[in-house]
Structures are given as structure tokens and as C-alpha cells.
Structure 1
Amino acid sequence: MDNILSVQNIEKYYGKKGNVTKALDGISLNIDKGEFLGIMGPSGSGKTTLLNCISTIDKVTTGEIIVNDKNITKMRTKKLDKFRRDELGFIFQDFNLLDTLTGYENIALALTIQEINPKKIDNLIKKVAETLEISPVLNKYPYEMSGGQQQRIACARAIVTEPSLVLADEPTGALDSKSSRLLLESFERLNKELEATILLVTHDAFTASYANRIFFIKDGKIFNELVKGNDSRKEFFNRIIEVMTLLGGDVKDVF
């Protein structure tokens, strides 16, 4: 399989001499095209810092991050801006939709910035909307949608540009249980039907059970790795709980 993401022995320090915190400690991992990978860990484990470094929001102290054969740790600002626009899709906990635009217009915005032909824009939006089952709300404004519908519009916006990697940061955090399940089923369809490569950061075992592989982080290091394999989602969920129990600390957060 084609390698999309390679994280190579990265470290991240915060603070100044005499008061330094090591947030990431020699983390290495790889993601191939079409994988659905989860990152888990208790609060303060370093999972958000890892996501911030991969998304270029933050810079590593040492080590390298390579996305689609591009070494992002050596890119300058202008190249980073283009890289984010062309290679990454972002899904946030709080949707980040523009209230004055319809669902269709929110999705189209990313394509318009890339100066895509209007006819192609329409075809791309209809395709992703059908996959995510949001066609009926495309002409509605965010305030007219449920939280789950808003988040699926946000997913469509992230995936419609066909990025190399989709980064999802606690995407179910603001949703009720039914909306969360519908969103996660949408992630599965994106992964299987559109071959989207997804990196999902979450503290929630139910959410993580939809991934195909999970890295657990503790104290800035890789603690364990689980591969779903032929397990059912319920069986995978139980294995996740077992590892979270070994992790200790915020185990109660996974329920």
C-alpha cells in the first residue's frame, strides 16, 4: 500500500530552560492510503500535541513528519499554506461552519478557493453528499440543521477536495449518542467507499471502535497498538477498554 503519513521519532518540548515539558517523546508511526487510524490516550498524554504537529499547527522540536512524500517539518510558511489547502482535510469538534452560507455553499467554499470549475464543484458535492446522506439539507443554513447534520456537512467540506489525509479531532464531542453513531457510520462510508485516509483523535472507546487500527499514547510515548483485524466492532471495543484500563488515569473518560 502507498504510505500517506510517516511520523519519524518526533519529540516536542514546551517551555524554556529550567522549566521544560516534554510533550512527545520519540513517537514513530505510519499510515497507509485508505487506513482509518485512531489515536487514544488520557488527558495530557500528548495525543492533541501529536495531531497539532501533523496538521502543521505546531512544529516538532526534533524528528520528521512526511505526508504524501512531502517533509512538512522543513516547509516554509507559503508552502505550508498550500500544503494544508491541498493535502489535509480538517474535522473539528465544534463544526466551524459559516452561519451565513448554506450547507452546499459551506462545502463548495474549499473548492472555490482551489478555483475548481463550477460544474465539477457541483458533481463533487453531490457525490459526497450522497455518501454522507446529507443531500436533503444542502440548501439549509446551519441553524436549520441538527448537530449531527452540521458535523456531516463539515465532514463533506473536509473530504470534497480529496485530501491525502483527513484529520478529525474529537469529532463526536459535541454530539448526542444517536448523532455520534450516524457520524461514525459516515466515517466508515468515507473510508470504504471513497477510500479516505482518516486519522481520528479521541478519548472515547466507542468512537475509536470504528477505526481499523489504534495507537495508544501515554506520557508522550506510544504505549500500545491494536489492530481490529477480523474482530466485530463490539469485540474491538472490549479490547480497547482493556488497554485503557492498563493505561490507568482517566479510564472513566472512555465510558
Structure 2
Amino acid sequence: MSAILSVQNIEKYYGNKGNVTKAVDQISFDVSEGEYVGIMGASGSGKTTLLNCISTIDTVTSGHIYIGGSDITALNSKSLSRFRREQLGFIFQDFNLLDTLTAFENIALALTIIKTPSSEIIERVKNVASKLEIGGVLNKYPYQMSGGQKQRVACARAIITNPSLILADEPTGNLDSKSARMLLESFETLNRDLRATILMVTHDAFTASYCHRILFIKDGKIFNELMRGSDTRKQFFNKIIEVVTLLGGDNSNVL
């Protein structure tokens, strides 16, 4: 499989000469097309900074990040905005839906921006809504939806432009257990049926157990890597717990 994402020796520093913090320390890894990869680590480990650099929200101090063959660390702000719009899909913990738009309009907005014909927009929105089982809420506004429905609308919005990479930041953080399970099953559907490539940051072992591979971050470095392989989700969950124990510290900060 070809690498959709290639992170090469990136570093990220904050502060000045008198007080420098190294948030990301020589991290390198690849994500192949169709993979579902999780990133775990305690608070302050660097996992969110890493995701922010990959998502172009933040910039690296050194190193390179390639997405779909493009070196995003070399793009100017105008090119980055276009790249972000066309190649990346985002799913946030707090949904980030526009309150004045219906679910249909929230999902369709990205297609409207890139001037997709209206007939094609309708077909594509209905298709992705069917995949995520949200056809019944397309005419509702965010305040009329449950947290789980809002997050699945956010998933639909992320996938609607067929991005190279979907980036999810603690996507189950604001959901109850039932809604979280439904969302994670939706992620499985996107990955399996639409071959969506997903990179997800999470502190939760249950959420991480749905991934195919997990990178554990400690002190800005990759501490360990787990492959699910032929394990059941329960078996993978138990292995995740074992690695979290090796990471040390208070497990509640990681799980």
C-alpha cells in the first residue's frame, strides 16, 4: 500500500531561548491508504501537538510531513488553505457544526465551497447520510439533534469531499457510551466500505480498540506501537491496557 501520510523526523519547540519546551521529538511514521490508526498518550505527551502539525493547524520546527505526496511543511498560507479544504477531513470533540444550518447544509457546505453542481451535492449527501444512518436528521438543526447524531453529521461533513486523510481529535469525548459506540461503528463503516484513511487521537482505550494500529506517545516520542492483526477487539483492548501500564503514571490520565 502507498503511504497517504509520511511524517519524517519532525520536531516542535515552544518558548524562547530561556525556556524551551520540546513538544514533539524526532517523530517519524507512515500511514498507508485505508489504514485506521490511533494515537494515544497521557496529557502533555505531545499527541495533540502532533495532530495539530499534521492537520496544518500548527507548523513544525523541523522535519517534513507529506500528505498524498505533497510536502505540507513547504506550502504557503494560501496553498495550505486550499490543501486543507480539498485533502483533509476534520472531526472534532465539540462537533463544530454551524448552528444556523441544517444537517444537510452543514454536510453540503464543503461541496458548495468547491463549486460542486447542486444535483451532485444532493446525491452525495444522501449517500453518505445513508452510510452513517442519519438520513432522518438531514432537515434538522444542531439544537434538534442528540450528541451522537451531531457527531455523525460531523463525520459526514468530513468524508463528503473524499479527502486523502480524516483527522479525528478525541471524537468520543463529549458522547455517552451508547453514542460513542455508534460513532465508532460509523468509523468502521467509513474505513471498511469507503476505504477512508483515519488518524485519530484519543485518551480512551475503548475508543482506541477500534483502530487497526496504535502509536503510543510519551515525552514527545513514539514509545510503542501496537498492531491489532487478527485479535478481537476485546483482545486488542487488553493489550492496549498493558502498554498504558508500561507508560507509567496515573492511568486515569491516559484512559
Q: Same fold (TM over 0.5)?
A: yes
Q: Is the 8 A contact 1:204 1:253 kept in 2?
A: no
Establish whether residue 189 from structure 1 lines up as the match of residue 192 from structure 2.
no
Other-structure match for 1:225: 225
Q: Structure 2: 5+ residue runs without aligned partners?
A: none
Other-structure match for 1:11: 11
SS of equivalent to 1:65: strand
Q: Is the 8 A contact 2:10 2:63 kept in 1?
A: yes
For residues 6-29 of structure 1, what are the alpha-carbon distances to aligned partners after superposition, in whole Å with 9 as ceiling and x for unaligned?
000101100000100000110001
CA distance in 2, matches of 1:236, 1:141: 38
Q: Partner letter of residue 2 of structure 2?
A: D
For residues 157-212 of structure 1, what are the alpha-carbon distances to aligned partners after superposition, in whole Å with 9 as ceiling and x for unaligned?
00001000000000000000000000000000000001100000000000000000
What is the CA-CA distance between 1:248 and the residue it aligns to? 1.4
Query: Scaled by the length of structure 1, what TM-score is found?
Result: 0.99
What is the CA-CA distance between 1:123 and the residue it aligns to? 1.1
Moved over 3 A (4+): none
Q: Is the 8 A contact 1:104 1:139 kept in 2?
A: yes
What is the root-mean-square deviation in Å for CA atoms of aligned residues? 0.7
SS of equivalent to 1:203: coil
> Residues 135-146 of structure 1: matches in 2 within 5 Å?
135-146=135-146
> Residues 92-131 of structure 1: matches in 2 within 5 Å?
92-131=92-131
Q: Partner letter of residue 104 of structure 2?
A: Y
SS of equivalent to 2:30: strand
What is the CA-CA distance between 1:254 and the residue it aligns to? 4.7
Establish whether residue 172 from structure 1 lines up as the match of residue 176 from structure 2.
no
What is the CA-CA distance between 1:251 and the residue it aligns to? 1.2
Other-structure match for 1:48: 48
Q: Structure 1: 5+ residue runs without aligned partners?
A: none
CA distance in 2, matches of 1:62, 1:88: 22
CA distance in 2, matches of 1:27, 1:123: 41
CA distance in 2, matches of 1:4, 1:52: 17
Q: Partner letter of residue 144 of structure 1?
A: Q
CA distance in 2, matches of 1:148, 1:249: 32
Establish whether residue 79 from structure 1 lines up as the match of residue 86 from structure 2.
no
CA distance in 2, matches of 1:245, 1:41: 11
For residues 102-153 of structure 1, what are the alpha-carbon distances to aligned partners after superposition, in whole Å with 9 as ceiling and x for unaligned?
1001100010001001111111111111110000111111111100000000
Q: Partner letter of residue 168 of structure 1?
A: A
CA distance in 1, matches of 2:120, 2:37: 30
Identical aligned pairs, as a percentage? 70
CA distance in 2, matches of 1:10, 1:253: 25
SS of equivalent to 2:115: coil
For residues 6-59 of structure 1, what are the alpha-carbon distances to aligned partners after superposition, in whole Å with 9 as ceiling and x for unaligned?
000101100000100000110001000100000000000000000000011111
Q: Is the 8 A contact 2:43 2:254 kept in 1?
A: no
Q: Is the 8 A contact 2:45 2:219 kept in 1?
A: yes
Q: Partner letter of residue 118 of structure 2?
A: P
CA distance in 2, matches of 1:188, 1:59: 30
Query: Scaled by the length of structure 2, what TM-score is found?
Result: 0.99
CA distance in 1, matches of 2:134, 2:230: 30
Establish whether residue 154 from structure 1 lines up as the match of residue 124 from structure 2.
no
Q: Is the 8 A contact 1:43 1:250 kept in 2?
A: no
CA distance in 2, matches of 1:145, 1:30: 37
> Residues 49-64 of structure 1: matches in 2 within 5 Å?
49-64=49-64
SS of equivalent to 2:153: helix
CA distance in 2, matches of 1:120, 1:251: 48
Q: Is the 8 A contact 1:110 1:157 kept in 2?
A: yes
**Structure 2 CA distance for partners of 1:205 and 1:234, relative to 1, 3 Å:** same
SS of equivalent to 1:125: helix
Q: Is the 8 A contact 1:5 1:30 kept in 2?
A: yes
Q: Partner letter of residue 94 of structure 1?
A: D
